[in-house]
Structure 1
């Protein structure tokens, strides 16, 4: 007889638990082998050890903003269609006068 912590009485042999969990019979439990001595991981040496990923990200974004500013100043900037439509709508609304329209 085996009584669970919840108070349920289970008739039969409680032994290694195979009567409660027959699926455990499929598993073979062994003592794990002791692993050999681990080699330490090689130190991570980035190409530029003075800049972090965040600094790299900020540098990329700063360069992109500079490129965009130069393109707008030179007139080489082609606005996306959604931006062009927004600008056109703003230009068309100027004849309506002061708010509220």
Structure 2
């Protein structure tokens, strides 16, 4: 992670923003570690294991549900919400 991302993440964790901006903070924290989360997922680690590690090492402060929402949104959108006719949708064999 670049130096600026580390500094911003630390600033956010130390309360650099207003108290009502926790949603924005969680998103910023996730985006800062997004590449590491993707690498861990690609390596086969369970989402809960990744989240627990990120929480324990103070890289994320969000709840597990928030973490999953951001994984679905930023890393694997097609895996979690395929719709018929879209790339990545399960084939049913019927038409």
TM > 0.5 fold call? no
More helix by share: 2
TM category, shorter: under 0.3
Please identify the structure whose Cα radius of gyration is greater. 1
Higher RCO structure (Cα 8 Å, ≥6 apart): 2
- TM-score, normalised to structure 1's length? 0.23
- TM-score, normalised to structure 2's length? 0.24
